[in-house]
Chains A and B, each alone.
Chain A
Amino acid sequence: MVDAATKKTLSNIPLLKTKAGPRDRDLWVQRLKEEYQALIQYVENNKKEDNDWFRLESNKEGTRWFGKCWHYQDLMKYEFEIEFDIPITFPTTAPEIAIPELEGKTAKMYRGGKICLTDHFKPLWGRNVPKFGIAHAMALGLGPWLAVEIPDLISKGLVQHKDDQQQS
């Protein structure tokens, strides 16, 4: 279902306990704390493994998230803004991560720049409600998507490094 490396990454992200969505007030605050704990752990794991690849933060209510992710190729860093809302059905449904600046450049995207996940993602998420959180969505969803799509977009010239953009 998922490759060994992803499995290992996943197993090092803490699982969550509280099944609560943004309409659940106090329980949502609890869930949000767990989300932050898991994310902090995941980012620290990434740094330890020299594979730091994203930053995320949210609004005060934890309903809107935004940040950056990046991808290295040929010693060059390509950085993208990411954003998503937490739907009222979360965590039963996964967040839909979007990279608006890439909208229209790849068919592997829905409107608004939401990334198109593999057939595996939703069943896997569905089986792991409420244990999977935003960190898992990043590791299982956005991570593999970037690894496949960004090299393709670079090779097609649809994504250019910032330095090259300035020259042209």
Chain B
Amino acid sequence: MATVEELQTRVKQLEAELERERARNRTGPDGGGGRKKIDKMSSEVVDSNPYSRLMALKRMGIVDNYERIRDFTVAVVGVGGVGSVTAEMLTRCGIGKLLLFDYDKVELANMNRLFFQPHQAGLSKVQAAEITLRDINPDVEFETHNYNITTVDNFQHFMDRISHGHLRGDRPVDLVLSCVDNFEARMAINTACNELGQVWIESGVSENAVSGHIQVIKPGETACFACAPPLVVASGIDEKTLKREGVCAASLPTTMGIVAGFLVQNTLKYLLEFGSVTYYLGYNAMQDFFPSMAMKPNPNCDESYCRKLQTEYQEKLAAQPKEEVKEKEPEEVVHDVNDWGIELVAETTDEEFKAASHGHVPELVEGVHVAYVRPMTQEDDEGAAGLTVDDQESLEDLMAKMKSI
């Protein structure tokens, strides 16, 4: 049996060892085996230049000014199957700064996806990601936040970092990328970005792992995430044959990698201004079907900031010369044939559709539908036990009453 002193010595040894290992992770062996920081991107084609193939984009005339990538700051919210790969791609591209948000830890159950490694199990995802990414490219600046953005306290901090977290001083980040896996977090990002007028791109992979999407949201200009119920890319699978026994969600590294690829490709096109930015791109893995479209905002959106920005955007449009506006009109996508026999099925009864059809129904491309419809007229609450009434009891009284039942 070891004495306390012996154990204390051992702990000290291990701490020193851990510190050496950490230092090695930060700078590489001998302080430079990853590599040293590079002040200026060079387009010189030599084996030792990590940016030569990226700068070749400039020489080939694809991107006007690739070096600008170092001036951009991107926030990645959710560092899981999609977010970690997204962050790695941006790191390898030489992005200026990344803000990473996630409250989760790395688990062995994540190993069917890319990026994280078994020895990182137990570390927070943001911390593990930062260590790996710094090693890949020490030129990138990182800021990590290990918390859940949907709670009241964290949400305010999240908004603050989005609006002040830029690499080049006290201003908003250039783009927010949503790589979260749940509706609540998406709605929280949507609320924050509407309030801040922040452009963001939403991404997602379905729980059956065989479809995904990305969607660019420019508050006021395109549909926000609350403008319509969640969109679903038809998977071509009869929902009734989908077995959900004993499982919550499936995932594939392929689908997640593809969606991360779409997301970062669109991000690069948006930031570096090349090609055309796709507003909505869906991916159906079963039939290799990729619907794309642009979605107008809902004038009756639940989010007041979305409605406010819509008005502002319309005023801005009206003030612009007409031709320019025409150019900006997103292309209409028309599908003549429906090879996959995709139709709208589900959860919604005829009456509900009827009720909803009084209000805003988004124009969607074939192969994409809303997960459900919301009634515009209040549903008849047949037999429901009436609305709660505001009697004289205070909140404290009610809390006490609940406790004493």
A89 to chain B: closest residue by CB: B187
Complex: A34 Cα to B405 Cα, angstroms: 17
Complex: A57 Cα to B191 Cα, angstroms: 27
B247 proximity list for chain A (CB < 8 A) = 107-108
CB distance from A146 to the nearest CB of B (A): 16
Chain B contributes a number of interface residues (CB within 8 A of A) equal to 49
Do B383 and A11 touch across chains, with their CB atoms under 8 A apart?
A: yes
B393 proximity list for chain A (CB < 8 A) = 33
Do A56 and B402 touch across chains, with their CB atoms under 8 A apart?
A: yes
Do B388 and A15 touch across chains, with their CB atoms under 8 A apart?
A: yes
Complex: A116 Cα to B398 Cα, angstroms: 30
Does B150 make an interface contact (CB < 8 A)?
yes
Q: Which of these, B383, B389, B405, contacts A43 with CB under 8 Å?
A: B405
Given contacts A87-B150, A89-B191, A92-B302, contact A40 B398 (CB under 8 A): yes
Do B229 and A126 touch across chains, with their CB atoms under 8 A apart?
A: yes
Do A127 and B191 touch across chains, with their CB atoms under 8 A apart?
A: no
Complex: A156 Cα to B248 Cα, angstroms: 19
Do A16 and B387 touch across chains, with their CB atoms under 8 A apart?
A: yes
Complex: A13 Cα to B151 Cα, angstroms: 27
A17 to chain B: closest residue by CB: B387
Given contacts A127-B372, A127-B375, contact A37 B248 (CB under 8 A): no
Does B56 make an interface contact (CB < 8 A)?
no
Q: Which of these, A22, A33, A43, contacts B390 with CB under 8 Å?
A: A33
Do A63 and B152 touch across chains, with their CB atoms under 8 A apart?
A: yes
Chain A proximity mask over B383-405: 1 for CB below 8 Å, otherwise 0:
11111111001110011011101
A119 proximity list for chain B (CB < 8 A) = 244, 347
B378 to chain A: closest residue by CB: A131
Does B63 make an interface contact (CB < 8 A)?
no
Given contacts A40-B405, A126-B374, contact A88 B385 (CB under 8 A): no
CB distance from B244 to the nearest CB of A (A): 7
Do B399 and A57 touch across chains, with their CB atoms under 8 A apart?
A: yes
Given contacts A36-B399, A41-B385, contact A123 B390 (CB under 8 A): no
CB distance from B361 to the nearest CB of A (A): 14
B382 proximity list for chain A (CB < 8 A) = 11
Do A89 and B246 touch across chains, with their CB atoms under 8 A apart?
A: no
Does B54 make an interface contact (CB < 8 A)?
no
Does B188 make an interface contact (CB < 8 A)?
yes
Does A30 make an interface contact (CB < 8 A)?
yes
CB distance from A94 to the nearest CB of B (A): 8
Interface centre among B152, B244, B375 (most CB of A within 10 A): B152
B405 proximity list for chain A (CB < 8 A) = 40, 43-44, 47, 55
CB distance from A140 to the nearest CB of B (A): 14
CB distance from B92 to the nearest CB of A (A): 28
Complex: A16 Cα to B385 Cα, angstroms: 10
Chain A proximity mask over B356-375: 1 for CB below 8 Å, otherwise 0:
00000000000000011111
Given contacts A17-B387, A88-B150, A108-B246, contact A123 B371 (CB under 8 A): yes
Chain B proximity mask over A3-29: 1 for CB below 8 Å, otherwise 0:
000000011111111000011000001
Do B151 and A88 touch across chains, with their CB atoms under 8 A apart?
A: yes
Do B184 and A93 touch across chains, with their CB atoms under 8 A apart?
A: yes
B315 proximity list for chain A (CB < 8 A) = none
Does A80 make an interface contact (CB < 8 A)?
no
Given contacts A11-B383, A63-B151, contact A93 B372 (CB under 8 A): no
CB distance from B144 to the nearest CB of A (A): 18
B191 proximity list for chain A (CB < 8 A) = 88-89
Does B30 make an interface contact (CB < 8 A)?
no
Task: List the 8 closest A-B pairs by CB distance, nearest first.
Answer: A123-B372, A36-B398, A87-B150, A116-B248, A89-B187, A34-B388, A14-B388, A37-B388
Q: What is the interface of chain A, defined by CB distance below 8 A to chain B?
A: 1, 10-17, 22-23, 29-30, 32-34, 36-41, 43-44, 47, 55-58, 61-63, 85-89, 92-93, 96, 107-111, 116, 119-120, 122-123, 126-129, 131
List 7 A-B pairs, Cβ < 8 Å.
A15-B384, A40-B405, A47-B405, A55-B405, A119-B244, A123-B347, A127-B373
